[in-house]
Amino acid sequence: MNDRPARVHELRLYRQYFDLVASGEKTVEVRVKYPHLADLAPGDVIRFHVKGGDDTCEVEVGRVTEYPSFEALLDGEGPGSINPTVTRERQLADIREIYPREKEGLGVLAIEIVRGAR
């Protein structure tokens, strides 16, 4: 059990992913383990902001799982929880476009997100 108070993390999303989070279709967010995300924990809140817009959406972190690669993350989480609208291969290509290969060395995070849990 975690005795620390929940923190709010501000993150940006491209519109296509923001809409999937807002609708509840996307239940796992993919990030690399940048220092500001290293202590992300269940119960924390993520406030997503759409890139280039004013829309926001709050979710609660259900769990955080670290993987050695994006491929392992897609295998472990299942592509449907990350983006149910495209294939696993398309998702991997899209992730690689956002995060160059060298970023994987920081660690790859699967962040389970829960809408309306607060």
pLDDT recorded at residue 65: 97
pLDDT recorded at residue 2: 55
pLDDT recorded at residue 115: 86
Radius of gyration of the chain (CA): 14
Three-class SS string for the chain?
CCCCCCCEEEEEECHHHHHHHHHCCCCEEEEECCHHHCCCCCCCEEEEEECCCCCEEEEEEEEEEEECCHHHHHHHHCHHHHCCCCCHHHHHHHHHHHCCHHHHHHCEEEEEEEECCC
**Global pTM value:** 0.92
Answer yes or no: are the C-beta atoms of 28 and 77 closer than 8 Å.
Answer: yes
pLDDT recorded at residue 14: 95
pLDDT recorded at residue 117: 59
pLDDT tens sequence across 88-116: 999 999 999 999 888 988 999 999 999 87
Q: Which residues of the chain have pLDDT under 70?
A: 1-3, 117-118
**CATH numbers and ranges of domains, the chain:** 8-115 (2.30.130.30)
pLDDT recorded at residue 87: 96
- 87 Cβ contact list (under 8 Å, min separation 6): 79
